[in-house]
A and B are shown apart, each in its own frame.
Chain A
Amino acid sequence: MDRQFLIFATICYLAAVIRTVVSFRARIFRRSRFVFLTIALGFVLQTAFLTVRGHTLGSCPITNLFEVLVFLAWSIALIYLLIGPAYRLSLMGAFTAPLVFLLQVAALLAPIDIPRASPIAPNPWLEFHASISIIAYGAFALACVAGAMYLVQERQLKTHQLRSIFYHLPPLPNLFSAMTRLLWFGFILYSAGMISGFFVNEPMPWTKIVLAFAIWILYGAILQGRYLRWMAPRRIAALCMFAFAVALPLLWSIEFVGHRA
């Protein structure tokens, strides 16, 4: 039953992706309420899935990789819905929808929805640690999306090749501002997740700790580079994309409850 919510949510994101592709092919690219509404509907259905799954499990539904991917997709949609309209970045939906769609398809198609062998005792610190870390990933994902938008816009300005999308993408300062705020937001949440990890009181593999610290240092270095103006905005945007591309495969290392089952 709960997977049906997820399938319908994925269809919503697919609709947003199709709309985006059609716009690209027609070279008529404009801000679309349709994309925003389909993402909002997809988010509602994802929330329904997570609620049902959480109720069944009796804990936060991040007990296996399948649930982690869905929770990450949900976090990305949540942050987009919060910041997209606020920063007038509604076109961000066109970039966000494919990412969320791919995460959901990967979650649905891969054989990773494996129930735990045995129930585990509730551990609020562990649930907080895992969920806040995944929401931080959602912020990093959106920073990556803003970075991609920045690079697309910047490249058009540099090469003098202005496509239809040029007139609909936000100005560079708006994109850069959204990108740095998302980086800070994600970094703060991720730091909170790291700190809470010390209170989990469960054995953790050292590789996981090292990788978690590596991601934390990578994002910290990007923010430091921005703060001290060592790097031009274009490099920050490129690093946002690089960092997320590195961090995503390391999602395995992020704590999920079922890992220790």
Chain B
Amino acid sequence: MNFFCFGLNQRTAPIEARERFAGHARSPALLRDLGCSEVLLLTTCNRVEIYAAADTNIANEEIAQSLRIEGGSSAKNDLEAFYRKENAECARHLFRVAAGLDSMVVGETEILGQAKRAYAEALANGNAGPLLHRLCQRAFRAAKQVRSKTQITRGPVSVGSVAVDLAEKIFGDLRGRKVLVLGAGETSAKTLRALASRGVSDLRVSNRTPARAEELASELEGLAVPFGTWLEQCREIDILISSTAAETHLLTPPLLVPILRDRADRPLFIIDIAVPRDVAPEVNEFDGVYLYDIDSLQQIASESHELRRQQLAAAEAIIDEHVADFQKHLGLSKSGTRPTKECPARVSGELRTSEL
């Protein structure tokens, strides 16, 4: 029996193609009708893939057709966006996907959860048999090992996640922290959302255009405050995110000194993502004040990217080991009998006890 992977991802297909072939609830059943004995459908915002086992060779057109959403238009050369990998290469591909090596952001960990959910669904619907079970369990093990033995997941890779990591090191627990956003731009909104996702609940928005402040504040369940009071707010807040279009520095050392006097030794984290900068760089010299501009944040994010890139070789080596081991296992299966017929009780036991 052969097993294969068939699909497309963000590198091989634009979003329009991924939308047309997004897969649907009936896709596994259609593939079973085509002759697949086991089917797993993995769909994320960046990829649509099926992993299947079959005794016969099933044409790519037929598989693609099973993934096409109802009413979806077709385009010329649609099939060119798909890739197909068989047996060991299929295993390698799944191991890399589960470990986040094939993701848009290398090392991201969300994909492992998505793969586990896809497997759980296939199992619940009776579409996953012993072959997919072993393939998936091995993939999850490989992904875990890559995560623990390398630094592939280390470091934040977006401005928002850098800000969150820094805030957590400065304040510890972010719950109860107060954040003021000065200027309601897209990046500041994203950063604010990232902080809110870690428990920051007191969100204040101040903008020269009050309506825009109101809009962002209501979107994030925060409070709009008049632009004229932002400096006074600095006495209370813990984090200031500034992104106005001001041409000169809004916050300078002389303005900050009396504010710091009232803050005792409470730290102040300033994220200045405006260009030109809203906050004078000398502000970073004060005890307890941590100023980061957009370049600093992007530098940290790119260093994390670089660190992850450097870890790729080590991660690939781990994947190679698992593929080789899995191939060895496959050799046994090929020369012997199919696992389901060989020992159903043991296999079902494995399915029950293995990690999802």
Contacts and interface: CB of A to CB of B under 8 A. Distances in A.
Contacts of A153: 169
Contacts of A233: 265, 288
11 contacts: A153-B169, A157-B170, A160-B292, A160-B296, A167-B154, A171-B172, A173-B171, A174-B172, A232-B265, A232-B287, A234-B288
A173 B303 CA distance: 26
Contacts of B288: 232-234
Interface in B169-184: 169-172
B154 A172 contact: no
Contacts of B172: 171-174
Nearest to A236: B265
Task: Output the residue of A160, A167, A172, A233 with the most chain B CB within 10 A.
Answer: A160
Interface in B286-318: 287-288, 290, 292, 296, 299-300, 303
Contacts of B264: 229
B151 interface: yes
Contacts of A232: 265, 287-288
Contact of A160 (B151, B154, B169, B299): B299
B123 interface: no
A162 B165 CA distance: 11
Interface of B: 151, 154-155, 165-166, 168-172, 264-265, 267, 284, 287-288, 290, 292, 296, 299-300, 303
Given A28-B151, A158-B290, A229-B265, A172 B170 contact: yes
Given A153-B169, A171-B169, A171-B170, A164 B296 contact: no
A157 B299 contact: no
A166 interface: yes
B287 A172 contact: no
In the A-B complex, the 8 residue pairs with the smallest Cβ-Cβ separation, listed nearest first, are: A232-B287, A171-B172, A173-B172, A160-B296, A171-B169, A229-B264, A157-B290, A232-B265
Nearest to A166: B169
